[in-house]
Amino acid sequence: MDPEGLQLLLPPTTLAALANSWLQEDCPGLNFASLVTGSAPSQAVLWAKSPGVLAGRPFFDAIFTQLNCQVSWFLPEGSKLVPVVKVAEVKGPAHHLLLGERVALNTLARCSGIASAAATAVEVARSTGWTGHVAGTRKTTPGFRLVEKYGLLVGGAACHRYDLGGMVMVKDNHVVAAGSMERAVLKARQAAGFSLKVEVECSSLEEAFRAAEAGADLVMLDNFKPEELHLTAATLKARFPSVSVEASGGVTLDNLTQFCGTHIDVISLGMLTQAAPALDFSLKLFAEGDTPVPHARRF
């Protein structure tokens, strides 16, 4: 999927509302620093100081649009960053540039970090010859989910279900609340209708069989050791070839290859959104003819 085209997924009204809420959070009252900078027309350069994948341009744009500033990009969405590199220029009133600076950098750094982790995970998985889906999870930051799910897509991963309405997932707590696996899946199928899939979290082959027999479209084999995972998936698919299998729980970039296998359709990693380090960007105001290059970040 072309990362440049992914911005079409983001409704302008939603982008504007998010940008406004972030700016409101950062400056809900008086902006005392604006008296220091004044409102003279100014320009700033956005620098990338750590390697990774550029992601989050639409959010960066939306923030500065709220502040009547204009952004000119030098690199497309999804670019591989080799520091130190000039990524964009922003022009506008000095006090507005600095009002949006930290909010815009935080958003871009976080989104790019997730895209970078996702791209690495996909590359690692593909190196084994596996062709399934590397996916994120719903382990996202409250209020920041759209940015994080978008970052996964830019990195080449699947975002899994966006929210509770994206798919009906039956987990262990749902089974306990419903009284049995069969009753839980039956109710899930009724709720899903014809338009949604039903996925069931299972911790054993017996549970996987019961879930498939009850009508699950996907079975999540949760917290299986790799050697147990592949045998269970093969046994399940031999009996229910149309059921998709997701591996989840304890998957990291270091052990991802162990989960890739013929009978695994999806591998989900919560760490892509929970543990991806943010990339390092800086926004520096400059005078005409003077654009000093910052130092690269040392890891």
94-126 and 57-66 helices cross at what angle (nearest 10)? 170
Cα–Cα distance measured from residue 237 to residue 263, given in angstroms and rounded to the nearest whole number: 7
213 is in an annotated binding site: no
Confidence of residue 295 (pLDDT cuts 50, 70, 90): low
Confidence of residue 168 (pLDDT cuts 50, 70, 90): very high
pLDDT digits over 214-247, tens only? 999 999 999 999 999 999 999 999 999 999 999 9
pLDDT confidence of residue 1: 73
Tokens of residue 155, six digits: 């990195």
Cα–Cα distance measured from residue 246 to residue 265, given in angstroms and rounded to the nearest whole number: 6
Supply the pTM of this predicted model: 0.93
Phi-psi region of 78 (alpha: psi -120 to 50; beta: other; left: phi over 0): left
- Looking at the DSSP assignment, which residues form a beta bridge with residue 201? 220
pLDDT confidence of residue 289: 60
Q: CA triplet 60, 61, 63: central angle to 5 degrees?
A: 70
Active site residues: 139
Amino acid at 6: L
Confidence of residue 287 (pLDDT cuts 50, 70, 90): confident
Determine what percent of the chain is predicted with pLDDT higher than 90: 94
- Per-residue burial over 108-134, b = 16 or more CB atoms within 10 Å of its CB, e = otherwise: bbbbbbbbbbbbbbbebbeeeebebbb
161 is in an annotated binding site: yes
pLDDT confidence of residue 298: 52
pLDDT confidence of residue 4: 84
Q: Is the pLDDT of residue 297 over 60?
A: no
Q: Mean per-residue pLDDT for 166-180?
A: 96
269 is in an annotated binding site: yes
pLDDT confidence of residue 299: 47
**DSSP 8-state code for residue 204:** S
Q: Is the pLDDT of residue 291 over 60?
A: no
Q: Is the pLDDT of residue 86 over 50?
A: yes
137 is in an annotated binding site: yes
250 is in an annotated binding site: yes
